[in-house]
């Protein structure tokens, strides 16, 4: 009986490995996954009964290689480690938008500059130079994100004993100037709410100005979170909009959902907020109006339980809210063009200016620490200190005069 010849390997792009059939009929997938300690290529093999099965096993092998799972720890590069860390550590632990930011800064900035350096060979001096180069390019905020990613990832590498120390601990993180914000004055806030009174999002603006909720918290509110009788609401989640991406699966392109519900920003952000009477009245009116929209739209309405929605019941897009409602209302009220987040700053500033204790303001806003409240709104404190000094004079100065 003549011997069967082995089929020639089928190849695609360089580095993608090959699949071929042995003389005994077994299918083999073969790929280079790195270099051994002696410098020779580290080749790995997978075996299967069919070509399709061998190709699938080879794809899995290449996927593990690309994530650094097959690399010798002594030879693993920073790029390989970050690819693995993003998928196995960061992605399950952080919000979807945060993960996208992490992955984006690794792909666009960290890996091109530092990815080829061996993980154990990354020095503080090289990392500090990377930060300086990015700062000189005017990317200060990007450098801060790079530092946050590297500090977290290298901390994990140190925990796994892949490196002796966290190199990011030994460099100076670039300083970023504080964001300027422009809170509305009491008179401006009144003008804004007066201009918004006929808008379908009037209740949302009332909550933003009087309760200081973040935009994502407002858009993530559901009717089950609101107790109009008790005059309170619970912040349990926030709605985030993410850029739609297309993934290939089975040869088709499938867009991802462009909104997700996530946990509040911090543990303190999960809170109960007492509503002023103005907010309760606005919410009741808003619910009645939403009921009319629901009847009008009929089967088109998607009853997802959100308080602030599009005309068909779906979550409102944050960008559309700003462009189609918020900015026109500012113009209508004759106010400068401020950010939506400045409504939150307006709430905090008005509360502090009225003598509300900073601890209560911290709880109202859901800040993780009172120091954050005090640092953010330090511009309000001198006026409060002058008021406190005047009260001391009123108490002791009069007695001293007598």
Its domain, for residue 31, covers 10-66
Same domain, 281 and 222: yes
> Strands, DSSP E only, in 88-131?
none
Residue 224 lies in a domain: yes
Residue 377 annotated to the active site: yes
Same domain, 163 and 284: no
Same domain, 36 and 113: no
Residue 344 annotated to the active site: yes
Which is nearest to 307 in space by CA: 220, 214, 211, 227?
220
Number of structural domains (the chain) is 3
Same domain, 46 and 82: no
Residue 95 annotated to the active site: no
Region class of 277: left (phi > 0), else alpha (psi between -120 and 50), else beta = alpha
Same domain, 272 and 360: yes
Start-end of H helices in 202-341: 202-211, 215-219, 277-297, 318-321, 327-333
Q: CB–CB of 197/166 below 8 Å?
A: no
Residue 6: phi and psi, rounded to 5, are -70, 135
Start-end of H helices in 236-326: 277-297, 318-321
Same domain, 61 and 133: no
Residue 214 annotated to the active site: yes
**Of the residues 285, 341, 359, 391, which is catalytic?**
341
What is the pLDDT, as a whole number, of residue 372?
Answer: 78
330-357 burial string, b = 16+ CB within 10 Å, else e? beebebeebebebbbbbbbbbbbbeeee
Q: Which helix (H) or strand (E) holds 307?
A: none
Which is nearest to 76 in space by CA: 34, 126, 128?
34
Q: How far apart are CA 105 and CA 99, in angstroms?
A: 10
Same domain, 82 and 57: no
Residue 392 lies in a domain: no
Same domain, 154 and 59: no
Residue 175 lies in a domain: no
Between β-strands 27-35 and 41-48, what pairing exists: parallel, antiparallel or unpaired? antiparallel
Residue 346 lies in a domain: yes
**Of the residues 57, 214, 237, 345, which is catalytic?**
214
**CATH assignment at residue 92:** 1.10.150.130
Same domain, 223 and 303: yes
Residue 3 lies in a domain: no
21 pairs with which residues across the strands?
27
Same domain, 149 and 229: no
Which pTM was predicted?
0.67
Residue 355 lies in a domain: yes
Tens-digit pLDDT profile for the chain (402 aa)? 444 445 555 554 555 788 999 988 899 999 887 665 455 677 888 889 999 999 998 888 888 777 666 656 667 899 989 998 999 899 988 888 889 899 999 999 999 999 999 999 999 999 999 999 998 888 888 999 999 999 999 999 999 888 899 999 999 877 766 667 888 999 999 999 999 999 999 999 999 999 999 999 999 999 999 999 999 999 999 998 776 544 444 444 444 558 888 888 788 889 999 999 999 999 999 999 999 999 999 999 999 999 999 999 999 999 999 999 999 999 999 999 999 999 999 999 888 888 888 898 899 999 888 877 877 787 766 666 676 677 677 767 655 554
Residue 134 lies in a domain: yes
**Of the residues 65, 109, 237, 344, which is catalytic?**
344
Domain boundary among 138, 170, 202: 170
What pLDDT, in 10s, does the model give residues 259-305? Answer: 888 888 788 889 999 999 999 999 999 999 999 999 999 999 999 99
Residue 226 lies in a domain: yes
Q: How far apart are CA 325 and CA 205, in angstroms?
A: 10
**Of the residues 249, 253, 399, 402, which is catalytic?**
249
Same domain, 58 and 85: no
Residue 249 annotated to the active site: yes
Task: Give pairs for 281-284: CB < 8 Å, separation 24+.
Answer: 282/202, 282/203, 282/206, 282/207, 283/203, 283/207, 283/226, 283/228, 283/307, 284/228
Residue 367 annotated to the active site: yes
Same domain, 303 and 279: yes
Q: How far apart are CA 305 and CA 174, in angstroms?
A: 43
**CATH assignment at residue 237:** 1.10.443.10
């Amino acid at each position: 009986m003549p011997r069967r010849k082995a089929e020639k390997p089928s190849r695609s792009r360089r580095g993608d490995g090959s699949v071929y059939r042995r003389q005994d009929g077994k299918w083999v997938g073969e790929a280079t996954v790195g270099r051994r300690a002696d410098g020779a290529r580290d080749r790995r093999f997978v075996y299967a009964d069919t070509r399709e099965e061998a190709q699938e096993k080879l794809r899995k092998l290449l996927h593990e290689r690309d994530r650094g799972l097959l690399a010798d720890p002594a030879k693993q590069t920073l790029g390989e480690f970050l690819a693995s860390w993003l998928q196995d550590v960061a992605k399950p632990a952080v919000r979807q938008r945060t993960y996208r930011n992490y992955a984006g800064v690794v792909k666009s900035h960290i890996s091109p500059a530092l990815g080829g350096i061996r993980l154990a060979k990354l020095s503080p001096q090289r990392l500090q130079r990377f930060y300086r180069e990015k700062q000189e390019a005017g990317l200060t905020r990007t450098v801060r994100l790079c530092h946050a990613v590297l500090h977290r990832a290298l901390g994990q590498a140190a925990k796994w004993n892949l490196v002796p120390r966290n190199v990011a601990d030994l460099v100076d993180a670039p300083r970023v100037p504080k964001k300027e914000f422009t809170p509305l004055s009491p008179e401006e806030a009144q003008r804004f709410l007066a201009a918004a009174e006929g808008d379908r999002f009037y209740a949302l603006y009332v909550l933003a100005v009087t309760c200081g909720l973040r935009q994502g918290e407002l858009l993530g509110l559901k009717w089950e979170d609101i107790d109009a009788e008790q005059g309170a609401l619970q912040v349990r989640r926030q709605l985030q909009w993410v850029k739609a991406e297309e993934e290939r699966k089975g040869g088709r392109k499938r867009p991802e959902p462009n909104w997700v519900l996530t946990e509040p920003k911090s543990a303190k952000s999960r809170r109960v907020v007492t509503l002023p009477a103005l907010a309760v009245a606005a919410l009741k009116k808003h619910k009645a109006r939403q009921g009319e929209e629901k009847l009008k739209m009929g089967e088109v309405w998607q009853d997802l339980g959100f308080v602030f929605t599009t005309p068909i019941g779906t979550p409102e897009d944050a960008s559309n809210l700003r462009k189609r409602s918020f900015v026109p209302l500012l113009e209508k009220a004759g106010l400068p063009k401020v950010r939506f987040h400045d409504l939150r700053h307006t709430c905090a500033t008005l509360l502090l200016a009225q003598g509300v204790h900073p601890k209560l303001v911290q709880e109202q806003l859901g800040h993780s620490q009172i120091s954050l409240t005090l640092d953010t709104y330090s511009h309000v404190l001198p006026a409060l200190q002058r008021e406190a000094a005047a009260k001391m004079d009123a108490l002791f100065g009069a007695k001293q005069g007598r």
